[in-house]
Structure 1
Amino acid sequence: MLGKIKPDLQQNLFKTRLTELINMEHPLVKLANEISWDEMEAEFEKLFSQGGRPSIAIRKIAGMLLLKEMFKESDETVVERWIENAYWQYFTGEDFFQTQQPFDPSNFVHFRKRIGEKGLEFLLGQSVSLHPKAKTEDEVQIDTTVQEKNITFPTDSKLAKKVIDNCVKIAEKEGVIQRQSYKRVSKQLLRDAYFGHHPRRQKKAKMARKKLRTIGKRVLRELERKLPSTILKDYEEVFRIYLKALTQERNTKDKIYSLHEPQVACIAKGKSGKAYEFGTKVAVVRGRKTGVISSIKRFSGNPHDSKTLEESLAQSERVRKSVGGTRPKKVSTDRGFRGIKLVEGTVILLPTKKEKTKYEQQVARLRFRARAAIEPCISHLKRNHSLGLNFLKGVAGDINNALLAGIGYNLKMRLNQIKEQIILWLEILLRTFLCKYNFQNEKRAF
């Protein structure tokens, strides 16, 4: 059953009302008043059953999820900071200052699973609606980046050692008596496999890697042989991943880079400081003038950039239409998207030297100079939001993390705009006061 926050209008002798404690002109208070919480509750209400124990109120958990993405907090730290921050409590709909934890941080996991990709796209649309010009903007910019996964740097020896350890755990869990566990042997072999590029260690490291993979296959075959057929069915997919990790070679396609995150891909973006990144490709669609993100789409594997256009623009259309907007008419891209000129009525613009007149050349030059603004936007998404390193599990975690980063970016942009408006208003007040003060002084002197 959906829980709701009921406004408490009665005074409490032992609690402080937040409206008396905080500054009602604070940017976060103004942002909370701009967000349509009623629409959010109406959208998510159908995801909850009619009976049973009341859930956490939508405004409370959704508001804390938005705060988490705006200020780049983890599930645990956002709950800790919420207790200390009166403005955060007002943002989530509290009437009185609270001194206890609102709920366990693990509830964020259940809430993200419950609303799914569709619910997060709705939240992205709500963040776009805070910028009225963004939903009808004709021209957008698009670029791709890598959302890195929180995994160790993959090597053959590490993967083989992990397979051996996991097989030993499975044997202990299912009561299988192994001929040998290889715990001590595999640990020493992993040490021997380190620094294999050094000429003096090259031969020893190569033999250690080979031996680790041999032991991994041996332990895996023993488990397949000794486990009952009824139990073996539950481990078929796990053993398939283990075998692929042990047998893959340098030129194997769709390689396994992590046993617990097999969907991770190795992506080379041509960076001098980081030749390879391990994660998933993400396409970001940003308004040219407003700078608001209307789509941030995750793709499996490492597709060519041009293959990401159709789905990214479709998501942008869904998000913008959910708040009464339109589909973008033009998309400015870099040369990585070459090969496609039109996607369902949207024109794809590439930097070329084929413009006929000098005026057209100047317009194109200005357009693609402006397109470079998406690069710092992606940098902000990675450094100031959650796109830099994804801690959420599985394919759903990749999708959710990317969308949440875009939501946090749009909300933070609106928060900064409110701050600028307040500063501008204060400057005007100060100038008006100074003008009146100077005028009165001149009048007295006269």
Structure 2
Amino acid sequence: MLRPSRNDSQKSLFFSLGDSLDQHHPLYILAHLVDWALFDMEFSKFYSADQGALSKPIRLMVGLLILKHVRNLSNESLVEQWSENIYYQYFCGQNEFVAKAPCVPTELVMFRHRIGIEGCELILKESIRVNGKDGDEPDVSADTTVQEKNITYPTDNKLHRKIISKCKKIARDEGMSPRQSYTRTLKKLHVAIRFSTYPKNKKKVRAASRKIRSIAGRLVRELGRKLQDGHRYKDSLDLFTRVLNQKRGDKNKIYSLHEPTVHCISKGKEHKKYEFGNKVSILYTQNTGVIVGALSFRNEYDGHTLPDALA
């Protein structure tokens, strides 16, 4: 339910949060340039007027999204730093210092899904307007980069061990007991893989990796036999099977179980040969460097992203 807007700009007769801040600070200046009423008007339609729990203020959520990208922070880091940074709080519309987190990190994800692509484009348009004449240049440049996903460096052993743990969790949730738990066996295999960089251990490590893969396959097949037809884990088991069957030279490989759409992209960077995520096309003005467009792709050729990015 949409939280009703209220004017609490003067809770104290002698003190306000803005009085204790440096008025030349970039976030203080930006807080007065952004048209917050525009977001309240456009995003209020995504909330019910009389049903559900009270929502977080729209300015708070939009401000958090802007801070996330301005400071290049994760959702968790942003929420943690917000409770410590007085400028963050003033930017998001607070008039008194609050010593607790504004929301849980997943609420930012839910808010992005709520406003959709159109809402994110509206925030981008407002950021262009805030830059004034700098964003009105007729000539723009296009560039592509990789938007990395929050995954660890993928290896087959990591994926196979995650499959084993997820299969065990499914069995527990469904009240099933697997034919064998492999607890002691896996413990020994993990120790064998631990020193994989030692030249004398390579043969032992390869054997342990094959054994872990075999155990993961057994658990997946056992779940497939024991679960009833039409069970809700079909997509997960299909994903596990695809991971177990993929080879080194296959295309469209799975690099993460929770982000199966991740691509392995090589941009020729000397310091980072491979990056795991999606390709993003960025449009920016040539002289002032103001970002005026951004669009996400999979792993298309750079030249093929240009028409959609300019559209």
When the two structures are superposed, what TM-score results if normalisation uses the length of structure 1? Answer: 0.63
Q: CA deviation at 1:288?
A: 0.6
Q: CA deviation at 1:260?
A: 1.5
Amino acid at match of 1:275: K
The corresponding residue for 2:233 is: 235
- Secondary structure of the residue aligned to 2:158 is helix
The answer on whether the counterparts of 2:84 and 2:99 sit within 8 Å (CA) in structure 1 is: no
Q: CA deviation at 1:174?
A: 0.7
The corresponding residue for 2:93 is: 93
- Secondary structure of the residue aligned to 2:27 is helix
The answer on whether the counterparts of 2:83 and 2:102 sit within 8 Å (CA) in structure 1 is: no
The answer on whether the counterparts of 1:267 and 1:276 sit within 8 Å (CA) in structure 2 is: yes
The corresponding residue for 2:217 is: 217
Sequence identity, in percent? 42
Q: CA deviation at 1:19?
A: 4.5
The corresponding residue for 2:173 is: 173
Name stretches of at least 5 consecutive residues in structure 1 with no aligned partner: 315-446
Q: CA deviation at 1:241?
A: 0.9
Name stretches of at least 5 consecutive residues in structure 2 with no aligned partner: none
Matches within 5 A, 1:269-284: 269-284=267-282
The corresponding residue for 2:48 is: 49
What are the Cα deviations for residues 117-142 of structure 1, in whole angstroms up to 9, with x where unaligned? 22111101110111233544222111
Distance in 2 of aligned mates of 1:243 and 1:10: 60
What are the Cα deviations for residues 58-106 of structure 1, in whole angstroms up to 9, with x where unaligned? 1222223323332334444544544454443332233x42344363234
Distance in 1 of aligned mates of 2:11 and 2:189: 69
Q: CA deviation at 1:17?
A: 2.1
Distance in 1 of aligned mates of 2:86 and 2:157: 50
Give the 3 Å change call, closer, same or farther, for CA 10–123 of structure 1 in structure 2: closer
Q: CA deviation at 1:116?
A: 2.1
What are the Cα deviations for residues 211-243 of structure 1, in whole angstroms up to 9, with x where unaligned? 222222111111111112242xx1111111111
Q: CA deviation at 1:277?
A: 1.7
The answer on whether the counterparts of 1:161 and 1:186 sit within 8 Å (CA) in structure 2 is: no
Matches within 5 A, 1:137-148: 137-148=137-148
Distance in 1 of aligned mates of 2:291 and 2:26: 21
The answer on whether the counterparts of 1:133 and 1:290 sit within 8 Å (CA) in structure 2 is: no
Structure with larger Rg = 1
Give the 3 Å change call, closer, same or farther, for CA 259–78 of structure 1 in structure 2: closer
What are the Cα deviations for residues 155-204 of structure 1, in whole angstroms up to 9, with x where unaligned? 22222222122111111111112110112212322443456575532322
Distance in 2 of aligned mates of 1:248 and 1:137: 48
What are the Cα deviations for residues 18-64 of structure 1, in whole angstroms up to 9, with x where unaligned? 35434445443322221111112111121112223442221222223
Matches within 5 A, 1:34-433: 34-52=33-51, 53-94=53-94, 96-101=95-100, 103-106=102-105, 107-193=107-193, 199-231=199-231, 234-300=232-298, 302-314=299-311
The answer on whether the counterparts of 1:161 and 1:190 sit within 8 Å (CA) in structure 2 is: no
Give the 3 Å change call, closer, same or farther, for CA 22–134 of structure 1 in structure 2: closer
When the two structures are superposed, what TM-score results if normalisation uses the length of structure 2? Answer: 0.88
Q: CA deviation at 1:266?
A: 1.2
Q: CA deviation at 1:307?
A: 1.7
Distance in 1 of aligned mates of 2:212 and 2:283: 45
Amino acid at match of 1:62: V
- Secondary structure of the residue aligned to 1:157 is helix
Amino acid at match of 1:268: S
Distance in 1 of aligned mates of 2:99 and 2:11: 19
The answer on whether the counterparts of 1:146 and 1:277 sit within 8 Å (CA) in structure 2 is: yes
Aligned residues: 309
Amino acid at match of 2:302: D
Higher RCO, 1 vs 2 (CA within 8 Å, ≥6 residues apart): 1
Give the 3 Å change call, closer, same or farther, for CA 221–36 of structure 1 in structure 2: same
The answer on whether the counterparts of 2:265 and 2:277 sit within 8 Å (CA) in structure 1 is: yes
Once superposed, what is the RMSD of the aligned Cα atoms? 2.5
| Range moving further from structure 2, 167-176 or 183-192 | 183-192
Give the 3 Å change call, closer, same or farther, for CA 191–85 of structure 1 in structure 2: closer
- Secondary structure of the residue aligned to 1:201 is helix
What are the Cα deviations for residues 405-429 of structure 1, in whole angstroms up to 9, with x where unaligned? xxxxxxxxxxxxxxxxxxxxxxxxx
